Amino acid sequence: MSAEATNPEARPDARPELRRRGRTRLDLRRLGRAALLGPTSRDRLPDAIGHVAEAHRAHHPDADLSILRRAYVLAESSHRGQMRKSGEPYITHPLAVTLILAELGAETTTLTASLLHDTVEDTEVTLDQVREEFGDEVCFIVDGVTKVEKIDYGAAAEPETFRKMLVATGNDVRVMSIKLADRLHNMRTLGVMRPDKQARIAKVTRDVLIPLAERLGVQALKTELEDLVFAILHPEEYEHTRALIAAHAGERDPLPAIAESVRVVLREAGIHAEVLVRPRHFVSVHRISRKRGELRGSDFGRLLILVGENADCYGVLGELHTCFTPVVSEFKDFIAVPKFNLYQSLHTAFATSGGHVAEVIVRTRQMHRVAEAGVVALGNPYATAAAVTATAAGAAAGSAEACADPYEERVDPTRPGWLSRLLDWQQSAPDPDTFWSVLRAELAQDREITVFRADGGTLGLPGGASCIDAAYAQHGEAAHGCIGARVNGRLTSLTSRLSDGDTVQLLLAHDASSGPSADWLEHAHTPAARIAISSWLKAHPDGAAATTTAARAPLSVVGARGGGGNAVADLPDATVRLAGCCTPVPPDAVAGFVVRGGAVTVHRVQCAAVAQMRSLGRTSVAVHWRATADCRVTLLAESFGRPHLLADLTEAIAREGVEVVSATVEPPVEQRVRHSYTLQLPDATGLPALMRAMRDVPGVYDVSRA
């Protein structure tokens, strides 16, 4: 995968300041010599992977390293004679990728597949040989990171390779872990390539792999990839940021003294914590400088506080906010509400007496491991998962050379909503260009929300998603007939945006011929919704015309109008009128107000007009109900559009012995019809039964008082 990469130590323009502090860098020349000498005796590890074994044992002391030795022997022998453009033996690349993963705490199966990740693609080794020697899991992972043949796919090879990797990642997240480490090492060693090719690879890394690293929670890889891409695509801004960091290095850093003050506070509170100063990486410094302008010393880093238990995190937070001046707007609790990429921490900031503002991250040590390594820190997430029989490996491979045996698709509790959505919509995007462009747009969404369905389930959606997106996420192509939604119990349009924690109930039309409007594309944010809507509109070029016709005037049916019904005002000879805005009926609590002409208007006390009347100084009049039980009320009915609906509703009202004073029917909008009825009831106690009878009319989904 990286035959064109080169050795960074040989580059005259190498930028060592981009290297993450504390991360071991390989001596490729030493590894090259060790690799050329070949494996050692069968009872000890080859010298070339001694550093991998050491890093692996630091996280997994009891790991069996014999499989790593066998994987290295196969990789070294199959890559023997292949060289990188830097002149180093090619085996140095899979060794470097494996070391990156070992330092993050990857388990043995991942490291084995990492050592072999280029053998099937670049050597004579076959997937059958890998499966026979190392088992189905290693075979599946190696196949997942193997590129498709460019001779077969041509210009579509790159998007189809990513599609294949993502499908494989849906069954085993370790596939993408290896791909990210592979790209990181290639980005570190990109200097030998032409500038235009460097820029092309950096753009793909920026648009696809960095967002994937963010979503999988692998911050250690994401931040370094960001810095490397920044240096290639924005060299001037990079140099400016480098100068800022260099200038800060010569100044007194206030953060160590602040960290010591925090240590004293926590020690006195009896909280055992490790307080570290965590320097910002290049892109982070660049973002802060654009946000705040001139930077101060405390802006070049943050405090990281590591504790043992979750409760200690909140104990630290309480001490910090008690002993220092907190910046309330900077507080975020990602422990109670974790991010969709497994990230958990408390974020806060406080001001010191010296005028500095220190940003603080508080987390447990386990949270820190997951924050840095993401899914890599999970080890083998499938070790105890229930298996569902499937032939996922063959489908993911997309070639006759894929692992032939059935592969068990594991139920992965760590799979977030974004990955499930991606796996769903990619099936509807057979065109590689469509898949590639939509994939970048999907990954550009940097926030995830969760909404609750009316049946108790949940939907994971990107931030900014609308009810249209929720409809297609829940109902698929059946969402073509969606005509409205209730959000948190209130009727709303399909174009309404959803917020985290909303409850959404989607209303589907019964007409099978119904379809979406072209306007929906302006409000659909998920690829699944946009692809489905576009496909329907393409298949029904005349279908959208009917939904965008000009609105007609409402149809009104008016009978004899009454006045105040059985409401009586304590004002002699005054004309009493029931307010049309709230249509009070017995036994509603009511209030009366004198309006122009001396008439008294009667409102329900909860009506918004009551507060307005009082603010205007209108005279209040006591109102009571007569002993007679008849009343007048206005009801609103929301329904799907269908033939004979008005006749059926009128018949239902008549069966209840109710007189229609007036009726207004608005023209259909997105196949929804709104009816307004002013009714004279012989007995106010019959109102609940009347509303139930109207709701029972087919197509009516809501009846409420005006």
Catalytic amino acids?
121-122
Instruction: Give bridge partners of residue 470 from the DSSP assignment.
Output: none
Question: In sequence order, which residues have a C-beta less than 8 Å from that of residue 649 and are 6 or more positions away?
Answer: 637, 639, 675, 677, 694, 697, 700
The tokens for 315 are 């104990």
Which of helix, strand or coil describes residue 404?
coil
Can you give the C-alpha Rg of the chain in angstroms?
34
63/182 Cα distance (integer angstroms): 23
The tokens for 374 are 């993401």
30/36 Cα distance (integer angstroms): 10
DSSP element (H, E) containing 521 = none
20/8 Cα distance (integer angstroms): 14
24/103 Cα distance (integer angstroms): 9
Instruction: Give bridge partners of residue 557 from the DSSP assignment.
Output: 663
**Beta-strand runs (E) in 365-444:** 387-390, 407-410
354/213 Cα distance (integer angstroms): 38
Query: Is the bond preceding 587 in cis, omega lying within 30 degrees of 0?
Result: yes
524/467 Cα distance (integer angstroms): 8
How far CA 280 is from CA of 242, 304, 351, in Å, comes to 12, 11, 19
Structural contact between residues 131 and 405, judged by C-beta atoms closer than 8 angstroms: yes
239/245 Cα distance (integer angstroms): 10
Count of positions (residues) in the chain? 706
Which of helix, strand or coil describes residue 340?
coil
131/84 Cα distance (integer angstroms): 27
Structural contact between residues 245 and 253, judged by C-beta atoms closer than 8 angstroms: no
Structural contact between residues 565 and 578, judged by C-beta atoms closer than 8 angstroms: yes
174/131 Cα distance (integer angstroms): 17
From first CA to last CA, the distance across the chain in angstroms is: 67
Residue 667, burial from CB neighbour count under 10 angstroms (0-12, 13-18, 19+): middle
Question: In sequence order, which residues have a C-beta less than 8 Å from that of residue 402 and are 6 or more positions away?
Answer: 127, 143, 393, 394, 396
DSSP element (H, E) containing 23 = none
CA-nearest of 133, 101, 103 to 120 is: 133
